[in-house]
Amino acid sequence: MSGPFAFDTSYAGLPERFYARQAPARVSAPRVLRVNRALAETLGVDPARLAGEEGAAMLAGNALPEGATPMALAYAGHQFGNFVPQLGDGRALLLGEVVGRDGLRRDIQLKGSGPTPFSRRGDGRAALGPVLREYLVSEAMHAMGIPATRALAAVATGEEVYRETPLPGAVLTRVAASHLRVGTFQYFAARRDAEALRKLADYTIGRHYPELRGAERPALALFEAVMGRQARLIAGWMGVGFIHGVMNTDNMTLSGETIDFGPCAFMDAFHPATVFSSIDQQGRYAYANQPGIAQWNLARLAEAMLTLFDDDVDRGVALANESLAKFAGLFGDAWGATLRAKLGLAGSEEGDRALADGLLDTMQVGHADFTLTFRRLSEAAAEPARLADVRPLFADPMTFDDWAARWSARLARESVTPAARASAMRRVNPWIVPRNHRVEEALAAAQTGDMAPFDRLFEAVTHPWDDQPANADLAAPPAVVDREYRTFCGT
């Protein structure tokens, strides 16, 4: 019997120095924890086969699915501002690519499948908690319409991994448009490998931006297209209160998907300086720093691509700078559109950005919950009396009243009906996001073998637009906002 994956792996056609061929490590007792049936079907894979014994062996790395060409991909990256010329997949293997029923090509990757030539001092393993965390949050992001890598399966290995303490081990099957990163270009730029840079640019264009093939300067067009996707992605993150937490250049894709859900988290009370990651002591990757960091990372990408922009270095630098200068506008437009949608504004007026910023400032001062504020505004958009439900979210409700009067005046100049406005707002302002305290609860239960809280939370956060009265406890902010909450990236 063939399959279960119909691999068609274009990456294997790139030169050998793009990756290291590596078989996954065997584990003692693989057990499938969860399979993403809908995603399996999109990929043309039979979910029942993945969920069975054969699937467990394949998804844990004990048996290679037919046609798999496991490889650890090479990349470099700036980690917290410091350049590391060789990172690479130290705990992940690309099994191969699959063209789905929707015609889209995707990578199938095992994460936590054992050491590779890129492991450095790492053990190549992943712990159950971070695997389930990525499974949950990546699928929640996808459900909210934010480009993100996906999760096809989580399997327990039956082995322990050692972090500060022994933890149950697991392997995630990650699905991505590709695993090409800013750091992939940096890897070859650091080696002054002009041929590899050219091949990488051609490959990236062919895979993600085929419309640029005929461009006058394809590499520059590629750079600008990546910039555009990243600008929209960051605006999408910020629109749902998402903080990635570790926006190193090796964690920034060329496809424009969110990748690596290590220390990420969603904000409860709004504050632009919010940061959760335990290793981010300077707040480099805080909520409001994300656009600036994206631009910094893109500047590193431009540096790595410089020789592709023009044969003349000075001309290449001038072109790069000209392009980079567009980022602020690209992000500003994307963020402005996100905010207008969140406020229910179909039209566009001069003062809209100030109106939105006025709300954010009021929320910051009033410690208002990010998700609840916008969702309740969506209800008030249909029924002004329900502004009464928004007010108590603010420490000083009168400050909200002042803002609400401005908003109501602005809405009066819109031609959309209140009902249509409210329904549009309910499609951009989630009813629920995976809040830290609920994610932690679900993961803690899973560690003891109880998957019920995980399943319940997963079901809730993958239907983010729906009102779910039975899950009100999962949608509510923590009783006491935990300002000391920290996330760890020990995947």
* Contacting residues toward ligand AMP, per CB under 6 A: 87-91, 118-119, 122-125, 246, 250-251, 260, 262, 489, 491
Residue 119's binding partner, choosing from Mg ion, ligand AMP, none, with beta-carbon cut-off 5 to 8 A by kind?
ligand AMP
Concatenating the DSSP letter of every residue in 381-398 gives HH-GGGHHHHGGGSSSHH
By beta-carbon distance, which residue lies closest to Mg ion? 260
Residue 3's binding partner, choosing from Mg ion, ligand AMP, none, with beta-carbon cut-off 5 to 8 A by kind?
none
Write the Ramachandran bin of 95: left for phi over 0, alpha for psi from -120 to 50, otherwise beta.
alpha
- Under the binding rule (CB under 5 A), the answer on residue 280 touching Mg ion is no
Q: Which is nearer to Mg ion, 149 or 251 (CB)?
A: 251
Q: Which is nearer to Mg ion, 251 or 362 (CB)?
A: 251
Range 233-262, binding Mg ion (CB under 5 A): 251, 260
Specify which residues 171 forms β-bridges with: 155
Alpha helix stretches (DSSP H) within 147-249: 182-190, 194-208, 218-239
Rounded to a whole number of angstroms, the minimum distance from the CB of residue 487 to ligand AMP is 12
Rounded to a whole number of angstroms, the minimum distance from the CB of residue 260 to ligand AMP is 5
Q: Which is nearer to ligand AMP, 252 or 368 (CB)?
A: 252
CA dihedral 227, 228, 233, 239 (to 10 degrees): 120
Q: Which is nearer to ligand AMP, 62 or 277 (CB)?
A: 277
Rounded to a whole number of angstroms, the minimum distance from the CB of residue 242 to ligand AMP is 17
In the set 89, 250, 280, 369, the catalytic residue is 250
Residue 87's binding partner, choosing from ligand AMP, Mg ion, none, with beta-carbon cut-off 5 to 8 A by kind?
ligand AMP
Residue 123's binding partner, choosing from Mg ion, ligand AMP, none, with beta-carbon cut-off 5 to 8 A by kind?
ligand AMP
Q: Which is nearer to ligand AMP, 149 or 371 (CB)?
A: 149
Tell me how far apart the alpha carbons of residues 353 and 356 are, in angstroms, rounded to a whole number.
Answer: 5
Cβ pair 384, 422 in contact under 8 A: no
CA dihedral 450, 455, 456, 461 (to 10 degrees): 140
Residue 369's binding partner, choosing from ligand AMP, Mg ion, none, with beta-carbon cut-off 5 to 8 A by kind?
none
Active site residue 123: no
Tell me how far apart the alpha carbons of residues 175 and 153 are, in angstroms, rounded to a whole number.
Answer: 9
Residue 49's binding partner, choosing from ligand AMP, Mg ion, none, with beta-carbon cut-off 5 to 8 A by kind?
none
Tell me how far apart the alpha carbons of residues 376 and 391 are, in angstroms, rounded to a whole number.
Answer: 10
Tell me how far apart the alpha carbons of residues 468 and 432 are, in angstroms, rounded to a whole number.
Answer: 9
Q: Which is nearer to ligand AMP, 160 or 357 (CB)?
A: 160
What letter would DSSP give residue 345? -
Rounded to a whole number of angstroms, the minimum distance from the CB of residue 440 to ligand AMP is 19
Closest CA to 337 of 222, 462, 228: 228
Cβ pair 84, 57 in contact under 8 A: no
By beta-carbon distance, which residue lies closest to ligand AMP? 122
By annotation, the residues acting in catalysis are 250
Chain residues that interact with Mg ion, rule: CB under 5 A:
251, 260
